[in-house]
Structure 1
Amino acid sequence: MRKAATAVAAATAVLVLAGGYAGLDATGAVPGPLTTTAPPTAAPLPTAPGATRPTQADTPPVLPALDPDAPRPDPAALGGVVAPLLADPALGASVSTSVVDALTGETLLATAADVPRTPASVAKLLTAVAALHTLGPTSRATTSVVDGATPDEVVLVAGGDVLLAAGAGDPDAVDGHAGLDDLAAATAAELLAAGRTAVAVRLDDASFTGPATSPGWGSGDVAAGFVMPVAPLAVDEGRLAEGETAPRTGDPALAAARTFAAALAAHGVQVLDQGAGPVVRAAAVPGAATLASVESATTAEQVELMLTASDNTLAEVLTRRVALAADRPATFDDASRAVVDQVAALGVDVTGTSLQGGSGLGRATRVPARVVTDVLTLVAGGEHPELGAAAAGLPVAGVSGTLLERYAEPGSASAAGVVRAKTGTLTGVSSLAGYVRDADGRLLAFAVMSDGVAPGASLAARRAQDRFAAALAGCGCR
């Protein structure tokens, strides 16, 4: 079960990143035709000679102050060091780069930074910021059971938690924070106390509307476990077996409701079968009395998990919740526009930005590199402390998440434990965006995005981007 990530910063979300480590690199396989999920863990690659592999404890997470006295890089000097790395053929011809001073927002390097590119999972940075700002970092998704239209009915109301455990919840976990068995036990206690020993179970999952899958996804993405059909209720994101890339059920909400019904029966309440199985869909009566409820982990904790693990399903669900909070329909299209609108409301110029869902899995998603670094600078700036989890959830090179097995090569190993960034991978696409503290202690925000990667060059493109970030880390560039 996936535990909560680091604590959310209470003030500004600025990183102090330790250096001098070597880590692991990815195997280079793109796990599916359209996915941002990391490939299965492979045998560790050797670390650089004489280096030690970093651990999570070695890397300070998020600290509350930028250093305004750290020397600012000279753009010309910085460009002279890192720009030649962008000519690596592995990156292809369609490359955008943006590097900015995270304190001042000054542009230090820009290469086609205003050109909309396919960002893959780097798009999750926009989803993270929109969710934290719109929903609030301490908000939670509630799954409840209410009285039905008649005394022999109860309605399970889906509230946007797709990380439910089938059994008991774990208060220390993000995935499985709330449990359906706990909900069933509390519901049974209320029913039996009122003398209600048999009920029909209804499911109200109508808060999310429109198609549950996107035309921008690959045809095999659900079966391959890269994403779940989007629904406001699920047990362990609809996985049909253990493992991050287990196949997903085609109807996650109904599967979860059936799990709840079985648990309710196990707690002594007969579940009536009226010819259509143990659960049928029906809308809850407005104002119906609540019998029991359970709550998810906080939005901040879910955002951290979403970014660290590059969780496509969680990103899509958070996007729908943003739409509902913004009084828009929770469809793919409306939710995508709601995220862009909320990022714009924070003062980011979103010109050229269009999302096809919130995960980056949608192939039609386009985001300029400048927008990405503007978002990162906003998170680091301190004016919006609610955005702290968007920094805390970024994987650390060679230490965590989708960067765990990267930064082992001679050209990038020095930046293991230094770079904190969001990865993005689709067929033909490789992106990396995040923070690095340079050799003079100046915090930089960067994005390097390639959407013309040649077939078979995914691993080489990732390594080229890792070398670019490592060069930023090693450059005082005054």
Structure 2
Amino acid sequence: MSHSPSPVRSGGRHRKPKMTNLALRRAVVISVAVPVAGAILAGPSAFAADKADSKAVAVELDPTEQKIADNLNARSQDPRLGSTLSGVVIDAETDKVVWGHDAATALMPASNTKLATATAALTVLGPDKRFTTKVVYGDGTLTLVGGGDRTLTTADLGALAESAVAGLKAAGLTSVKVRVDDSLFPEPTLATGWNDGYYPDSIAPVRALVVDSQNVTDTSLDAGGTFAKLLAERGVTVDGEVTRGVAGTGDAPVAQHTSGTLSTIVERMLKVSDNDIAETLLRQTAIGAGRAATFEDGTAVVRQILGQYGISLDNFEIHDGSGLSRANRIPAQTIADIIDLAADPGHSRTLKYIVDGLPVAGEAGATLGPEWGRFDTADSSCAVGQVMAKTGTLTGAIALSGLTKAQDGRWKVFSFIENNSTATPADTKDALDGLAATVNGCWA
């Protein structure tokens, strides 16, 4: 399957400055590709451009764009989309609005929320950030200290156990107690708009320690149990049950594991729409900004970062990082602006990983893959390999937002958010795929 090149990596987009201070704004924001949260979070932004204002000017469409607009005017009336649709298409180079329908109307965005979470995480923490899981020893106890790494595996714990056992045996110790320290994050709570029916299938209670992406009620004790088993397999007796506690200040370091880079974690989160990674990153972002690792502080940082990039926060309301909250409300215009920002070459050092992480139509293993029944109709199959977009699905809410190169050879950013359709989710998704194929122009 042939995929269209990324608009970031291809170098094919050269945004035209819309404000005299745009270069300064970019220079300041790009400088936070390393963890300097205080710089970007200190006070109101004096360098944020108001992109919404630049898009309010009526502009003439070229023939390709006019065809997109005309077709979308007709196809957005598809009964499968219901009567509540927020949508917009913009030219990625000029920010010209090609088409819009209630673009400023805030709807439940589902997992499109993860685009905002990713933007804040990459900006505050930097794309090279890694998360560390440690093992320390004191008073006859090995403590597995969670560092908020949602990608930790049994193999990683095995390596930690190997080092720990070597140290214990060198000291002549053959038995040890095991506890877990997940105090990096506070006790899990439900976000506004969540219900406990989400646990543990849609998402696990958010803790700082988990292994193999397990969705269980207590991921920390589950990881501790796995670690204890690995110790026993290597000849060390574990006394009693695994407990929870806080590592002592005088405990000796024994072993540590560092995660992959944040950039790769963000790409994975977006490709498969991983709710647990999203909520973990929301807390890490709050910590990186010097705030508490809570839903409230995490989402406050997201709002602040978006505002400092010049993204309009009109009618913007989020209560979590994953988009599971049924109280979240974001307009399609805002989602499109976030994608447009991520695809801007001026921000590629920090944000290009968002574009890299967008599922590609027809890409197996991602949320636009054939296993999900996406881009497989007569109207949309022509766009396989030509559309990259973030999906979003909740009961009563389906979204699709991303990028495609239109028939004029120019990248278009689009966002479509639908709420409350009476059609089946599969039918609504087919209709949204058709709208994306319309922007591409292959469905003429």
Partner residue of 1:102 out of 92, 101, 121: 92
Contact 1:428/1:452, CA 8 A, preserved across alignment: yes
| Structure 2: distance between partners of 1:128 and 1:320 | 12
Matched, 1:208 2:196: no
* Distance in 1 separating the partners of 2:145 and 2:286: 18
After TM superposition, the structure 1 = structure 2 runs for residues 30-429 of structure 1, keeping only pairs within 5 Å, are: 55=1, 58-61=3-6, 63-67=9-13, 73=62, 76-148=66-138, 150=139, 152-166=140-154, 168=155, 179-214=156-191, 216-223=193-200, 225-238=201-214, 248-273=215-240, 277=241, 279-286=242-249, 288-384=251-347, 385-400=349-364, 401-405=366-370, 406-429=374-397
Q: C-alpha distance in 2, partners of 1:442/1:143?
A: 44
The answer as to 2:425 corresponding to 1:458 is yes
CA distance in 2, matches of 1:73, 1:402: 33
Q: Identify the residue that residue 25 of structure 2 maps to in structure 1.
A: none
Structure of greater relative contact order (alpha carbons < 8 Å, 6+ residues apart) = 1
Q: In 2, are the aligned partners of 1:353 and 1:366 still within 8 Å (CA)? A: yes
Structure 1 runs not aligned, ≥5 long = 1-54, 169-178, 239-247
Aligned to 2:38: none
Could you say which residue in structure 2 is the equivalent of 1:4? none
Q: Corresponding residue for 1:469?
A: 436
Query: For 1:224-257, what per-residue CA distance to the aligned partner results, in whole angstroms no more than 9, with x for missing partners?
Result: x22222111111221xxxxxxxxx3210111101
For the 8 Å contact 1:145–1:292, the answer to whether it is kept is yes
Distance 1:396 1:73, change over 3 A: farther
Equivalences, count: 393
User: Cα RMSD between the aligned structures?
Assistant: 2.3
Check 1:476–1:216 CA distance in 2 against 1; reply closer, same or farther (3 A cut).
closer
| 1:136–1:299 Cα contact (<8 Å) kept | yes
The corresponding residue for 2:29 is none
Matched residue type, 1:404: G
The answer to whether the 8 Å contact 2:192/2:327 transfers is: no
Q: What CA distance in whole angstroms lies between the structure 2 residues aligned with 1:76 and 1:441?
A: 15
Per-residue CA distance 1:80-122 (angstroms, 9 max, x = gap): 2222111112111211012111122222222221221100111
Q: CA deviation at 1:212?
A: 4.1
Note the C-alpha offset of 1:288.
Answer: 4.1
Give the aligned residue type for 1:428.
G
Is the Cα contact below 8 Å between 1:121 and 1:425 reproduced in 2?
yes
Q: TM-score, normalised by structure 2?
A: 0.83
Residue 219 of structure 1: how far off its partner (Å): 4.3
2:104 is aligned with what amino acid? Answer: D
CA distance in 1, matches of 2:443, 2:359: 24
- Given that 1:143 and 1:157 are in contact with CA atoms closer than 8 Å, whether structure 2 keeps it comes out as yes
Change (3 A) 1:357 1:73: farther
One-letter amino acid matched to 2:143: V
Q: CA deviation at 1:361?
A: 1.0
Structure 2: distance between partners of 1:323 and 1:404: 33
Q: How far off is 1:76 after superposition? A: 4.9
Matched letter for residue 278 of structure 2 = A
Cα shift at 1:192: 2.2
Check 1:458–1:316 CA distance in 2 against 1; reply closer, same or farther (3 A cut).
same
User: Alpha-carbon deviations, 1:110-167, whole Å to 9, x = none?
Assistant: 222122110011111111111222222121111101233x3x122211001122222x
Identity %: 38
Structure 1 residues 362 and 476: alpha-carbon distance in aligned structure 2, compared to 1, 3 A threshold: closer
- Contact 2:403/2:414 (<8 A) preserved: yes
Separation (CA, whole Å) in 2 of partners of 1:288 and 1:388: 40
Letter in 1 for 2:389: A
Look up the SS of the partner of 2:71 in the other structure.
helix
Q: Which residue identity does 2:379 align to in structure 1?
A: G
**Is 2:13–2:344's contact at 8 Å kept on the other side of the alignment?**
no
Can you list the C-alpha shifts for 1:172-216, whole angstroms capped at 9, x where unaligned? Answer: xxxxxxx11111111111222233433222211011114344453
Q: Which amino acid aligns with 1:233?
A: L
User: CA, structure 1 residues 389+67, in 2 after alignment: closer, same or farther (shift >3 Å)?
Assistant: closer
CA offsets 1:292-314 (integer angstroms, 9 cap, x no match): 00112221111111111111111
Whole-angstrom CA distance in 2 between matches of 1:270 and 1:193:
15
Q: Distance in 1 between matches of 2:213 and 2:62?
A: 44
SS in 2 for 1:220: helix
1:430 aligns with 2:430: no
For 1:267, the aligned partner's letter is: R
Q: Secondary structure in 1 aligned to 2:322? A: coil
Secondary structure of the equivalent of 1:425?
strand
* Amino acid across the alignment from 1:383: G
Counterpart-to-counterpart distance in 1, 2:261 and 2:84: 38
Task: Tell me which amino acid in the other structure corresponds to 1:309.
Answer: V
